[in-house]
Amino acid sequence: MLARTPLYNRHVALGARMVPFAGYEMPVQYEGVKQEHLAVRSAAGLFDVSHMGELELVGPEAGAVIDGLITNDASKLVDGRALYTCACNERGTILDDLIVYRLRADRWLVVCNASNRSKIAPHFQAAAAGRCAIEDASDRTALLALQGPKALEIAGRVGGASLVELKSFGLAELVLAGVHALVARTGYTGEDGVEIFCASNDVVALWDALLDAGRDLGLVPAGLAARDTLRLEARLSLYGNDIDETTNPLEAGLGWTVKLDKPGFLGKNALVAQKAAGLARKLVGLEMVGRGIARHGYPLLDATGASIGTCTSGSPSPTLGTNIGLGYVAVGHDAVGTKLLVDCRGKSIEAVVVPTPFYKRPT
Amino acid sequence: MSSEIKSDRVYTKDHEWAKADGDAVVIGITAFAVEQLGDITLVNLDVAEGDTVEAGKPFGTVESVKTLADLFAPLSGKVARVNKALEERPELVNDDCYGEAWMVAIVPTDRSAIDGLLDAAAYDKLLSESH
């Protein structure tokens, strides 16, 4: 039985195609992935990502509990700030990628992937036992992502004028369109924008208010398909595609989230050893030269046809008009400009290693 | 959702259409298939004029932003024409899947095989039963 977010009826009324995703029926697209993607790059898009998992940790030790489970350094966070991090197992491979928010010294929020909630919630609960209170608040919490160059202007029209002051990865509690919300200047698209948490009961009103407020600025509802192409252009990792329990943050290009100089955290010893031994492979950006689209799982070959790695994500890039992808390649094949072949179901198509992100928003 | 179905041709359960045109049978994909795929970004037709195709065997792929679908020959026969325009303009499939975006034309080995495909009413029934 698939779960539905409180916005299910809104999605259906908007003509969305609904698909199963992480146990939920989610909108994969409304009018079309390209149109939604380009609207987010040029104006704004509104995403329902209420399927994401939210864990609330409360108590003086909450920050320390979290810090013991993540690779990034939560002890450096001040009130009203968030960070992106990996959570690893003792082997140093990735259990999930998370955003950790410090509301106050004794009040924290951890947002995990929907597909990992059933793994991450008990993992954090076990660590919290006897040290701080923890609640899996996912079912009573909704999450909207308002993304694009017009996102802040739209939020300003429903009471969020102060959000322009918010730094990247800053958060604020405020009332938007009459709804109590926690707003963070974060996203998964490579654009400016905010992600808005509110009570599940309030999210339909907030969704309607935002769509109304942004219509004349080009705001459209956007689905999971556009979310995926947007994040790929910005080289943001997708758990289950680019990272999982067989990959470590160092080879995934997420070394910047690993603070080996902080006190012990789960996976630290393995990551220290990994770093000392050197990496065997790296996740790199690919651009197709020949006619073909690299897809998750396609083998990557060198010019002689020998296997050198695997594609983890691939898609046409609506912004660039090229076909792009990510893949792990053996060290030695990871330099920008390296030519390789993608085995597209038996056909070897030429590709080249390119710098990432594929797209960077104009500043 | 009701997808357009044309009564002047026949269909397969793989959401392709076939339409007689002289000695040949022209093949394409249906509006339902296009809706399921979304924005078409790549059409690969892996056959050339004169090649032999076998009913049920793949002769190419259609890729959208999200996914990829095989094209299956609905009939055995010899390829008479290949729509090369789709290589440069895959978006034609979204615009006109029953017209300009035909994929290949096949001269069937056994012309009566076309009678084994679904008529418009049967294809309509297939869509309404499965969705």
| Predicted pLDDT at A223 | 97
Contact A293 B68 (CB under 8 A): yes
Contact B42 A225 (CB under 8 A): no
Q: Which of B38, B42, B66 sits opposite A291 (nearest CB)?
A: B42
Are residues A285 and A250 in contact, defined by beta-carbon separation less than 8 angstroms? no
Nearest chain B residue to A19, by CA? B36
Interval A224-266: pLDDT, tens:
999 999 999 999 999 999 999 999 999 999 999 999 999 999 9
Complex prediction ipTM = 0.80
Residue ranges of the domains in chain A?
3-49+139-233, 280-354
- As a whole number of angstroms, the distance between CA B56 and CA A124 comes to 51
What is the pLDDT averaged over residues A200-226? 98
Helical (H) or strand (E) element with A209: helix A203-214
Contact A315 B66 (CB under 8 A): yes
pLDDT at B131 exceeding the cut of 70: no
Interval A287-330: pLDDT, tens:
999 999 999 999 999 999 999 999 999 999 999 999 999 999 99
| Predicted pLDDT at B9 | 97
Chain A residues in contact with B66 (beta carbon < 8 A): 28, 33, 225, 228, 315
pTM over 0.90: yes
pLDDT at A5 exceeding the cut of 60: yes
**Do you find a cis peptide bond into A357, omega within 30 degrees of 0?**
yes
pLDDT at B2 exceeding the cut of 80: no
Q: Percent of chain A having pLDDT more than 70?
A: 100
Interval A118-155: pLDDT, tens:
999 999 999 999 999 999 999 999 999 999 999 999 99
Residue ranges of the domains in chain B?
10-109
Q: Residue A283 — left, alpha, or beta (φ > 0 → left; ψ -120 to 50 → alpha)?
A: beta
What is the pLDDT averaged over residues A271-298? 97
Q: Which residues of B have a CB under 8 Å from any CB of A?
A: 38-39, 41-42, 44, 61, 63-66, 68, 87
Chain A residues in contact with B38 (beta carbon < 8 A): 29, 32-33, 225
In what order do the strands lie in the sheet containing B40-45? B40-45, B58-64, B68-72
| Predicted pLDDT at A354 | 98
Contact A32 B61 (CB under 8 A): no
CATH fold of the domain at A3-49+139-233: Gyrase A; domain 2 (3.30.1360)
| Predicted pLDDT at A363 | 79
CATH of domain B10-109: 2.40.50.100
What is the pLDDT averaged over residues A16-28? 95
Contact B65 A315 (CB under 8 A): yes
User: Any idea which of A230-239, A353-362, B35-44 has the lowest mean pLDDT?
Assistant: B35-44
Interval B47-100: pLDDT, tens:
999 999 999 999 999 999 888 999 999 999 999 999 999 999 999 999 999 999
Q: Residue A161 contacts by C-beta under 8 Å, 6 or more apart in sequence?
A: none
* Overall size of chain B counted in residues: 131
Q: Which of B38, B44, B87 sits opposite A29 (nearest CB)?
A: B38
CATH fold of the domain at A280-354: Elongation Factor Tu (Ef-tu); domain 3 (2.40.30)
